[in-house]
């Protein structure tokens, strides 16, 4: 009698018998997606952009704290970048069609209302952390920026709604910005840095996602290189060692980590076969099992 993989059938074999044909149905890495090194390098730009965005904001905070940048200049820079980015985004919206225009108007309206509310909250924000030491503030801001970097939705499409992970990431960035702004000397400095945070962490990612998913990788690479050069330019006068470390970190994330991932996925071994648990088909469940036609 030929052995069969049937539990309910009595067979003249012991319970622990394993036939030579048992592994015929073995499949390796059936549902594993293999990534190429080029694909990983191109998509690592989203991570580099978020890292450099946080570092640029931190560098601007240090510059304004040292008095190298005035509050008026920072506020004018933030508004100019927002205006240019919004015009670029609306140009894309008009090109895509009229059904996208209400989204652009809603973003503009929400941004204006948020900035006006922020202007009214500037006085209490400045005195929010007077009784807390600066070391504690900087440590808390660092933790918030790490949370922003970890929870940021790097694969979200520009037309997709805001996910819960993105909400947490945005709230962490705002909290870090408020903590840092409370260390500034005047209300104008606080308002300028808070306005920059709104533009930089809430609106700028929308433009970056549109560039990546709608304009292609060449403009996205241009944005990545521009942000990398800007963060090096801002940190070089502060500390050449820190600027060099940032450059090495950018190169590591862009080139070394994808190479390490490609090396690791060669050793990926996910086996599957007829002994796996059955996967329930939702389509079959929705059908009426008592229906004859």
Arithmetic mean of pLDDT over the chain: 81
CB 266 within 8 A of CB 23: no
Radius of gyration, CA atoms only, the chain: 27
CB 79 within 8 A of CB 195: yes
At 256, the pLDDT band (50, 70, 90 cuts) reads very high
Interval 42-46 mean pLDDT? 90
Structure token pair of residue 275: 């002994």
Extract long-range pairs of 177-181: CB within 8 Å, 24+ residues apart.
Answer: 177/57, 177/201, 178/125, 178/128, 179/129, 179/137, 179/140, 179/141, 179/144, 180/58, 180/61, 180/137, 180/138, 180/141, 181/125, 181/126
- For residue 248, is pLDDT > 80? yes
The string of pLDDT tens digits covering residues 134-164 is 899 999 999 999 999 999 988 777 655 556 6
At 99, the pLDDT band (50, 70, 90 cuts) reads low
- For residue 100, is pLDDT > 60? no
At 122, the pLDDT band (50, 70, 90 cuts) reads confident
What residue spans define the domains of the chain?
60-215
Interval 273-284 mean pLDDT? 64
pLDDT, position 276: 65
User: At 189, is the secondary structure helix, strand, or coil?
Assistant: helix
């Amino acid at each position: 009698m030929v052995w069969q993989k049937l539990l309910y059938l009595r067979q003249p074999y012991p319970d622990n018998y394993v036939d030579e044909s048992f592994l015929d149905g073995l499949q390796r890495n059936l549902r594993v997606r293999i990534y190429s090194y080029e694909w990983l390098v191109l998509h690592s730009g989203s991570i580099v952009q978020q890292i450099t965005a946080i570092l640029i904001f931190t560098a601007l905070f240090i510059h304004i704290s040292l008095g190298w940048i005035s509050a008026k200049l920072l506020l004018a820079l933030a508004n100019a970048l927002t205006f240019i980015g919004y015009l670029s985004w609306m140009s894309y919206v008009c090109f895509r069609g009229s059904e996208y225009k209400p989204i652009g108007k809603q973003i503009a309206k929400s941004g204006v209302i948020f900035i006006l509310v922020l202007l009214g909250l500037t006085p209490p924000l400045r005195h929010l952390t007077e009784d807390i030491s600066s070391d504690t503030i900087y440590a808390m801001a660092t933790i918030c920026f790490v949370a922003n970097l970890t929870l940021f939705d790097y694969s979200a499409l520009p037309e997709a709604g805001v996910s819960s992970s993105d909400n947490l990431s945005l709230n962490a960035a705002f909290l870090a910005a408020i903590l840092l702004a409370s260390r500034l000397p005047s209300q104008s400095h606080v308002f300028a840095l808070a306005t920059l945070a709104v533009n930089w962490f809430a609106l700028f990612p929308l433009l970056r996602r549109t560039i990546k998913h709608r304009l292609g990788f060449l403009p996205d690479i241009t944005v990545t290189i521009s942000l990398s050069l800007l963060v090096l330019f801002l940190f070089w006068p502060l500390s050449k060692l820190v600027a060099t470390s940032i450059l090495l970190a950018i190169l590591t994330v862009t080139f070394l980590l994808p190479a390490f991932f490609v090396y690791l996925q060669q050793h990926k071994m996910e086996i599957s076969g007829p002994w796996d648990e059955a996967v329930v088909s939702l389509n079959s469940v929705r059908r009426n099992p008592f229906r004859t036609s």
